[in-house]
Amino acid sequence: MADYIFNVARLLAQTSGSRRTVDVSARPDVLDVPEVIGTVRGVAQLTRLSDAILVTGRMRTVVRVPCARCMDDLDLQLAFDLDDQFVPCIDPVRGGPVDPDDRWLLDRGHNLDLSPVLAEAAISELPPRVVCPGQCRSPLLDQPVTARALDPRLAPLERLRRQMLHQDGDSHG
């Protein structure tokens, strides 16, 4: 079994407060988060609650994000905490399907799949704005004026300028 899917059938059969520690290791392709380029690793505690399994722990990985100034790729260490609950997909008392609320579902074999939890936690911890540690420059500022006019944000201004320059040269009527 992969190092991010854990069978908790035995833990579910134990009393509240029972705990199990697991080593987590998930390759970036199982997360499907483009920024995550490193294996996610950490130690997680699986704790039996009265009606759920609580997952806590600290994970680390490497993410690749663009510099907000020069757009070069930056590789950063990212750490994030897990604090999520999983519930059985079939209610053990009433027998019907469970309403998970904002909790995650175990599969029918009581397997706890951490990959969507790791993906969501990593996304929520991505830094909103990072810049190179050195002195980098915006590529827009380094370009000559003619190239800068090609910036799509400046295109309406450039069109207006051309219209004003050529407004009496347009004599098709």
Parallel, antiparallel or unpaired: strands 104-105 and 53-66: unpaired
According to CB under 5 A, which one of 70, 98, 105, 123 is a site residue for Zn ion? 70
Q: Check binding of 132 to Zn ion (CB under 5 A).
A: yes
Q: Check binding of 2 to Zn ion (CB under 5 A).
A: no
Identify which of 114, 84, 89 has the alpha carbon closest to the alpha carbon of residue 100.
89
Stretch that binds Zn ion, among 31-39, 49-57, 136-144, 145-153 (CB under 5 A): 136-144
Residues 72-101 that bind Zn ion (CB under 5 A): 72
What b/e sequence results for 159-170 when a residue is b if at least 16 CB atoms lie within 10 Å of its CB, and e otherwise? eeeeeeeeeeee
| Total of residues contacting Zn ion (CB under 5 A) | 6
Q: Check binding of 140 to Zn ion (CB under 5 A).
A: no
| CB-nearer residue toward Zn ion: 2 or 70 | 70
According to CB under 5 A, which one of 69, 76, 115, 123 is a site residue for Zn ion? 69
| CB-nearer residue toward Zn ion: 54 or 136 | 136
CA triple 43-46-51, angle to 5 deg:
160
- Closest separation in Å from C-beta 64 to Zn ion: 13
- How deeply is 103 buried, as exposed, middle or buried, from its count of CB atoms within 10 A (0-12, 13-18, 19+)? middle
According to CB under 5 A, which one of 7, 136, 140, 148 is a site residue for Zn ion? 136
**C-alpha–C-alpha distance, residues 34 and 66, integer Å:** 12
Largest separation between any pair of C-alpha atoms in the chain? 88
Stretch that binds Zn ion, among 53-61, 86-94, 130-138, 157-165 (CB under 5 A): 130-138
Question: Residue 10, Cβ neighbours under 10 Å: how many?
Answer: 11
Chain contacts with Zn ion (rule: CB under 5 A): 67, 69-70, 72, 132, 136
